[in-house]
A and B are shown apart, each in its own frame.
Chain A
Amino acid sequence: MKLVRSSKFVFAASVIALVAAMVAPAFASAATLKLSGSTTVYPVAQLLATGYKAKTGNNVTVTGGGSSVGIKDAIAGRVDVGMSSRDLKDAEKSSGAVETAFARDALTIVVNPKNTVKNLTEEQVRSIYRGEITNWKQVGGANRRIVLVGRTAASGTYEFFKEKFLLGKRQSSKTRAYSSNGMVRSAVKANKGAIGYVSMAYVDKRVRALKIGGVSATRANAVSGAYIYVRPLYWITKGAPAGEAKAFIDWTKSEAGQKIVAKEFLRY
């Protein structure tokens, strides 16, 4: 009986110790910077957080949610820095949000690897997403129905696509609308007739990036300016960046930070 009791005590004590050990660092660390927002920015923000920690010892925690969430969180003070892949709306600016560009991202039009179409003009992309061109044979491909894949209304990626390719008009209501770059890529990979649009960072062998007007969607072309569908990515702060947030933002724009940025995106 005594043995049972003492072993129970040891167990309880070790559980408490374990919990304490897990919780303690959260309180102990001196400076923790919180980031949230764009799923486009997310992967590179994590790389930057790791690099920043290695250099300064300060922790940076990154969560997703989407550009609008990041902007909202930054305005509300829930995070130190928001991440956004779209420009601020006027209402957000008047709430005190300030944007600092730190990188650029190319938007790529992707199709299933089995699709024989290699090149579309901007007008053709527009007609496809407006529902006016409905079969790949109308743009020189096989006789296969075009399945539109895109993003939901609030996506920063969609906002940019709409502005650049659709000239502000909406994508067809027959567009399958997903909530992330990754899901668009999966949907395009799964369907031979699909077309989609994703951040260049999400292009891999599962999907094929189309040339637009004869220009390949490559990093080199985006850097040189030949591929024009390039948008800035922003850090969002409430008011001008200050303190720890400013230190982090300045570092991401320094040579060391930009080297990390260039792994996924283009320098700002």
Chain B
Amino acid sequence: MKGEEVPQDSTLAVDALLFADPDGFTDNEPVDLTGPQTGADRIVEAFLLAATVFSGLVVTLVAVFVLQKGLPALSHSGLAFLTNGGWDGNLESAWEDTGNVIFGARPLIAGSLLSTLFALAFTLVLGTGSAIVITELAPGWLRRPVEAVVQLLAGVPSVVFGLVGFALVVPFVTDHVLPADAFDKVPNIPYDGQSLLAAVIVLTFMILPFFVSVASDSLRAVPSALSAGARALGITRWRTIARVQIPVALPGLMAGAVLAAARAIGEAIALSMVAGALALTPGFAHGPLYFALTPIRTMASAIVDTGGEAMSIPAIEGALFGLATLLLALSLCLSLLARWAYAWSAKKLNLTNDRDV
């Protein structure tokens, strides 16, 4: 996204370079940035262009393929796909008689949205805090190890988070959060540690590192002149952070949030292990605690859990592609939202991105 802001005029670009690197060029002559080209360069450029076109084409084709398979299933089930429950039973009906089964994926959609939204909320609070500590508050000897840990966490495969969640988070929820009389109070839901709550905890730790690394980068990119100016005016450190640095870094923070949300909504394996493997829609009938303790299943885990064995039945294959279509639409919405938020915050701040000028 930041790339769009680079000035197109090559003279300007050189000026920017001069500012950025005072030991660089000493005269103001415009420089031809393309430079001499050899045959090898042309081959490499052609190859890069072909690779770009190819990858763009593949992404488009995948989207077309998913839509082509998913849309008929969605229109067959109609609005019921969004508003009805009973996913597991629908699957079984389709498996038994391959007749005219209407699928209801509401619990899966609710599971995906709720787990992502809550995890994102925790991530924004915890992540912005950690990013501020990393970039502003922590002394140098602490900063580097903390950043290294964050970056290491960002590279951990999700199945590892699933295993750890299954071994630690789920038993913790069972032993310390789940009320002993849960079954007497709500007899029709099989509570155990696997729940929306466990899913949110695992997802939060999974997406937090993504957000923190993007957020700390964008906080660090805030021109030091701004915070120095604020301090010179006698504004306190916290006020500078809250009123100068965070607002200026806001577009970057939003980009980080969208990245994190996109990972959360697509997460399948880890959530299959900790979320409950049961397509229920959390409700508030018994209060917020039981809402959080409801076992859920997300769209992405439903695809993974059902995919392999049941794809031989066209109705089930269609329903799974219907879920994939919804996931695709959601991630499209997320990236549109990101663009809009970026434009909005940039406009509101009346700032452009060439911060060094």
Contacts and interface: CB of A to CB of B under 8 A. Distances in A.
B47 to A, nearest CB: 16
B254 to A, nearest CB: 36
B15 interface: no
A56 interface: no
A141 to B, nearest CB: 14
B190 A176 contact: yes
A176 B308 CA distance: 18
Contact of A153 (B188, B189, B272, B310): B310
Nearest to A190: B170
A179 B311 contact: no
B38 interface: no
Given A176-B276, A177-B277, A177-B278, A152 B309 contact: yes
Contacts of A106: none
> Which of A135, A153, A186, A187 has most B Cβ within 10 Å?
A153
A161 to B, nearest CB: 13
B304 interface: yes
Interface in A142-179: 145, 147-148, 152-156, 170, 173-179
Nearest to B301: A179
B95 A154 contact: yes
A153 B95 contact: yes
Given A154-B316, A176-B278, A176-B295, A66 B308 contact: yes
Contacts of B193: 190-191
Interface string B77-95: 0000000001011011011
A191 to B, nearest CB: 5
A117 interface: no
Nearest to A134: B187
B166 interface: yes
B40 to A, nearest CB: 13
Contacts of A176: 190, 194, 276-278, 295
Contact of A190 (B166, B309, B311): B166
A174 B276 CA distance: 11
B277 A178 contact: yes
Given A153-B92, A154-B95, A174 B310 contact: no
B305 A178 contact: yes
Given A170-B92, A173-B86, A65 B308 contact: yes
Q: Which bucket holds chain A's interface residue count?
A: 20 to 34
A71 B273 CA distance: 27
A193 B310 CA distance: 29
Contact of B309 (A65, A170, A187, A193): A65
Interface string B305-319: 111111111001000
B183 interface: yes
A173 B90 CA distance: 10
A267 interface: no
Interface string A117-148: 00000000000000000110000000001011
Q: Which bucket holds chain B's interface residue count?
A: 35 or more
B306 A152 contact: yes
B118 to A, nearest CB: 21
Contacts of A174: 188-190, 278
Given A68-B309, A179-B305, A191-B192, A153 B187 contact: no
A134 B295 CA distance: 17
A173 B312 contact: no
A152 B310 contact: yes
Given A154-B95, A190-B171, A179 B188 contact: no
A199 interface: no
A12 B315 CA distance: 49
Contacts of A69: 308-309, 311-312
Given A173-B89, A186-B166, A190-B166, A179 B194 contact: no
A147 B278 CA distance: 12
Interface in B275-324: 276-278, 295, 304-313, 316
A66 B310 CA distance: 9
> Which of A69, A148, A154, A156 has most B Cβ within 10 Å?
A154
Contact of A145 (B183, B304, B316): B183
A176 B295 CA distance: 9
> Which of B86, B171, B312 has most A Cβ within 10 Å?
B312
A67 interface: yes
> Which of A134, A135, A147, A176 has most B Cβ within 10 Å?
A176
A68 B317 CA distance: 13
Interface in B146-202: 166, 170-171, 174, 183, 187-190, 192-194
> Which of A134, A173, A175, A183 has most B Cβ within 10 Å?
A173
Contact of B311 (A68, A135, A186): A68
Contacts of A68: 308-313
A174 B313 CA distance: 23
Nearest to A176: B277
Contact of B190 (A66, A67, A147, A178): A147
B183 A179 contact: no
11 contacts: A69-B308, A154-B313, A173-B86, A174-B278, A176-B190, A176-B278, A176-B295, A179-B306, A179-B308, A186-B166, A190-B166
Given A173-B86, A183-B273, 18 more contacts: A66-B309, A69-B312, A72-B311, A134-B187, A145-B183, A152-B91, A154-B310, A154-B316, A155-B309, A156-B309, A170-B92, A174-B278, A176-B278, A177-B278, A179-B305, A179-B307, A190-B166, A190-B192
